[in-house]
Structure 1
Amino acid sequence: MSFDVRPLSNALGAEITGLNVGQALDNVTFKAIRKAYLDYQVLVFREQSISPRQQIEFSKQFGPLDAHPSQGTNHPKGYPEILIVSTRTENGRDVGLRNAGPRWHSDLAYRKRPALGSMLYAVELPDNGGDTGFANMIAAYDALPSTLKNAIDGQLATFSSKREGIDTSHPAIRTHPETGTRSIFVNPQLTSGIEGMNDTDASALLNDIYAHCRQARFIYWHRWQPGDLVFWDNRCVLHIADHSRLDDPTYIRHMHRTTIAGDVPY
């Protein structure tokens, strides 16, 4: 089963065309997808038309699935593995998680085993807005000024979730378990401090690192198209959602997300 791979930016990301992920994949095809995933960190599978079950089955090929804390009732009936990310309302209530990812982050970074990757499928899209930004933390680490690199290397950071009441320590700079590359793991949404450092010094260091990571040379902004299924590597990529139209009642963005469980960072 052949498919085409086309880089989407100089930073990261590749477009996959000519492949139906709803069909069973042979080993050769799966290995080629996994290689592209490791090479580009973000894969965009174009022109997909998949059911919740097909998304779940495709996701499971990369590892066991993890549950997002917001899933609760925010999933399609009969498919608790899927988190609905949506601005739709029914009977005055949100049908899914409305304001997901307002700041740069890596999914579930506050858990002992953060997510390996996430898949987001476009079910319904607005005429404009709702783009997703992806930042290459391998490239950002490689280009980190020596003063910042020396200050953050070897540090343990605290990652927190008020919703789950969790505080977890992980390396601020983590090693990718499959490629051996190093990347910046701290992020503005979920990192609450650095162990052994006072809040003032930790905030100053983290803010300098975040400013470095926000440079355009590390970022790809994805403009969604109908049928897009996007799969990103949470071990070395940060992402953020464009919420500029979130309060617009005509803005409908309805997505299905699956999350692949990961390992303990080191």
Structure 2
Amino acid sequence: MLNFTPLHAFVAARVDGMALVDTLTTDIREEIKGALRRYSVLIFPNQAINDEQQIRFTQSFGPLETTKIGTEGTGTPLVILRNFDDNHHLVSTDHRQNLNNRANQLWHTDSSFKSIPAHAS
């Protein structure tokens, strides 16, 4: 049984009662979709999942886009945002990776302009 705890009067809810690694039933998927319509943002706390599990969970809601060339995660359905290098050292504030991360925090459309717009991001 899923439990949705509103985090604000207008937006966001915490989701408890499921592990993202579990296979979703049709009922659970529809319950999540309804909560996403109601709250717009869903937080699934304390979920330890790997990339493949993330992809499997999100694919249960529909097909995924392939990450564009020039973005970390190119050719996969993952967009990777991080502020450290391959050796796990923080990159400088003027490093291209950090500049891209800052640009991502600005208002943007997340594929709403495409012929098949994103359901969620």
Normalised TM-score (structure 1): 0.38
Instruction: Report Cα offsets for 1:144-171 as digits up to 9, x if no partner.
Output: xxxxxxxxxxxxxxxxxxxxxxxxxxxx
Picking from 65, 71, 74, the partner of 2:72 is: 74
Q: Is the Cα contact below 8 Å between 2:5 and 2:13 reproduced in 1?
A: yes
> Which one-letter code corresponds to 1:101 in the other structure?
N
Q: How much identity, in percent, do the aligned residues show? A: 28
Report the secondary structure of 1:9's partner residue.
coil
| Structure 2 runs not aligned, ≥5 long | none
Report the secondary structure of 1:56's partner residue.
helix
Report the secondary structure of 1:65's partner residue.
coil
> Which one-letter code corresponds to 2:23 in the other structure?
A
In our comparison, the structure showing a higher alpha carbon Rg is: 1
- Give the superposition deviation at 1:34: 1.5
Picking from 73, 84, 87, the partner of 1:88 is: 84
- Give the superposition deviation at 1:73: 5.9
Q: Is the Cα contact below 8 Å between 1:3 and 1:19 reproduced in 2?
A: yes
State the partner residue of 2:107. Answer: 104
| Cα distance in 2 between the residues matched to 1:94 and 1:23 | 37
Counting strand residues as a fraction of each chain, which structure ranks higher?
A: 1
Instruction: Report Cα offsets for 1:177-204 as digits up to 9, x if no partner.
Output: xxxxxxxxxxxxxxxxxxxxxxxxxxxx
State the partner residue of 2:117. Answer: 114
> Which one-letter code corresponds to 2:48 in the other structure?
S
| Cα distance in 1 between the residues matched to 2:15 and 2:52 | 21
Counting helix residues as a fraction of each chain, which structure ranks higher?
A: 2
> Which one-letter code corresponds to 1:75 in the other structure?
G
Judged with a 3 Å threshold, the aligned counterparts in structure 2 of structure 1 residues 33 and 20 are, in CA distance, closer, same or farther, namely same
| Cα distance in 2 between the residues matched to 1:36 and 1:6 | 10
| Cα distance in 1 between the residues matched to 2:39 and 2:71 | 33
| Structure 1 runs not aligned, ≥5 long | 119-266
Number of aligned positions between the proteins: 114
Judged with a 3 Å threshold, the aligned counterparts in structure 2 of structure 1 residues 73 and 12 are, in CA distance, closer, same or farther, namely closer
Normalised TM-score (structure 2): 0.77
Q: Is the Cα contact below 8 Å between 2:24 and 2:60 reproduced in 1?
A: no
Q: State the structure with bigger RCO (CA 8 A, min sep 6), 1 or 2.
A: 1
> Which one-letter code corresponds to 1:69 in the other structure?
K
Q: Is the Cα contact below 8 Å between 1:86 and 1:94 reproduced in 2?
A: no
Instruction: State the superposition RMSD in angstroms.
Output: 2.7
State the partner residue of 2:32. Answer: 33
Q: Is the Cα contact below 8 Å between 1:86 and 1:98 reproduced in 2?
A: yes
| Cα distance in 2 between the residues matched to 1:117 and 1:74 | 20
